[in-house]
Amino acid sequence: MSFRELAQPLRGIIPPMVTPLAGHNQLDEAGLERLVEHMIAGGVHGLFILGSCGEGPSLSARLRRQLIDRTCQCVDSRMPVLVGVTDPCYDESLSLASYAADAGADAVVISAPYYFPINQSDLLAHFQRFAQESPLPVTLYNMPALTRMSFEPETVERLAEEESIVGIKDSSGDLDYFQRIERLRQRRPDWTFLIGQEHLLAPAIERGADGGVCGGANVWPQVFVQIYDAALASFDTTIAEERDVLPHLVDQADRLARIYQLGSQPITASSVIRGLKSALAALGICSDAVALPLQSLSATEFRQIAAVLRELGLPLTMA
């Protein structure tokens, strides 16, 4: 199958958007619109929906499709929309990719299918077929903490032979691994290399990353865009001022990350989701409702998150 090519390679800050909920299996459409506009106003370069922060695997097929439709409508071609289509069932992933294409999305993001243990040979065959059948460009998603499976560099190298696979988002947290796969740029200069962990954004860009998929950019998009810009400036010795602010910006992002430290120790994907949604609720953007089986943070924890935002000077809508 032929695929719809990207207008330009993916670059910059592409937040993994949370899914605003109005209740069980109910999309908060007003909250969604506020969130999209909040991030666009903050200068982000694209949006990634139905990923880990978007609770994609916990949402019904109907709600996933509703979210795709409404997000594409809200964005209205102002920036690329990437859609997570990870599913244990191959046909469900392909069906969601087709739906995303019809809705006007720009690319799909897909990680290793979870539940059954598989080997690299299985992984390679799975993604080779998906790449040939997807109607949209494909970005690989390396998320071993949740899928229990990592794309070995040799597998990524083989998958780079597929024209429709246009990049990878690495959430392994391993910069050595990231540098190994980033060397593929010599063969695929059109590829996009995105870092998942936001605390690695600056060092990853300095090592060649094209951008970051930073959960905190849901809450404070400006600081992550500024980190991206300042890290890029490190390559230009004539832009000293922007480069010199990088340590301060990284410190701001690190302070924001305290919202992930409530409700779960050590920090997990679940604590990140709860922290992001509580922070967005404190900012008056959407509710803190999360998809089952998760539960929202307690009132005490919510107040602690609000205190973090207040210290950072973010505009709370609560006393």
Q: Are 275 and 288 in contact (CB under 8 A)?
A: no
- Residue-wise pLDDT for 107-126, tens only, equals 999 999 999 999 999 999 99
Q: What's the sign of the alpha-carbon dihedral 220, 224, 225, 227?
A: positive
DSSP sequence for 32-47: HHHHHHHHHHTT-S-E
Q: State the DSSP H helix or E strand holding residue 212, giving kind and residue range, or none if neither.
A: strand 211-212
Asked whether residue 269 is assigned to any structural domain, the reply reads no
Specify the pTM. Answer: 0.95
CATH of the domain at 213: 3.20.20.70
Single-letter amino acid code for the residue at 72 = C
Domain presence at residue 201: yes
> Residue 258 gets which letter from DSSP?
G
pLDDT by residue (tens digit) across 27-61? Answer: 999 999 999 999 999 999 999 999 999 999 999 99
Looking at the annotation, which residues are catalytic? Answer: 141, 169
pLDDT of amino acid 172: 96
**What SS3 state is found at 219?**
coil
CB atoms within 10 A of CB 208: 12
Of 243 and 5, the structure prediction assigns the larger pLDDT to 5
Tally of structural domains, the chain: 1
Indicate whether 28 belongs to any domain: yes
pLDDT, position 319:
47
- According to DSSP, residue 266 is labeled S
Residue 5 in domain: no
Contacts (Cβ under 8 Å, ≥6 apart) of 314: 219, 220, 283
Flag whether 26 is in a domain: yes
Mean local confidence (pLDDT), 209-224: 98
Evaluate whether residue 277 is within a structural domain: no
Judge whether 273 lies within some domain: no
Looking at the predicted structure, is the pLDDT value of residue 2 above 80? no
Work out whether the CA dihedral 176, 179, 183, 185 comes out positive or negative.
positive
Give pLDDT, residue 264: 60
3-state secondary structure of 308: helix
Report pLDDT digits (tens) over 259-292. Answer: 999 766 678 899 999 999 999 999 999 999 999 9
* Res 291: pLDDT: 98
Burial label, 116 (beta-carbon count in 10 A; 0-12, 13-18, 19+): exposed
Q: What percent of the chain has pLDDT over 90?
A: 89
* Structural domain span for residue 207: 12-242
pLDDT at 265: 64
Q: How far is CA 137 from CA 10, 49, 75, 127, in A?
A: 11, 15, 19, 12
pLDDT, tens digit (0-9, with 9 covering 90-100), for 196-213: 999 999 999 999 999 999
3-state secondary structure 168-204: EEECCCCHHHHHHHHHHHHCCCCCEEEECCHHHHHHH
Q: Does residue 253 lie in a domain region?
A: no
Q: How confident is residue 17, by pLDDT bands cut at 50, 70 and 90?
A: very high
Model confidence pLDDT, tens digit, residues 74-110: 999 999 999 999 999 999 999 999 999 999 999 999 9
Give the C-alpha separation, 220 to 312, whole Å: 10
Contact 168, 14 (CB under 8 A): no
Which residues are within 8 A (CB) of 224 and not within 5 positions of it... i.e. 6 or more apart? 13, 15, 44, 198, 201, 212, 214, 216, 217, 253
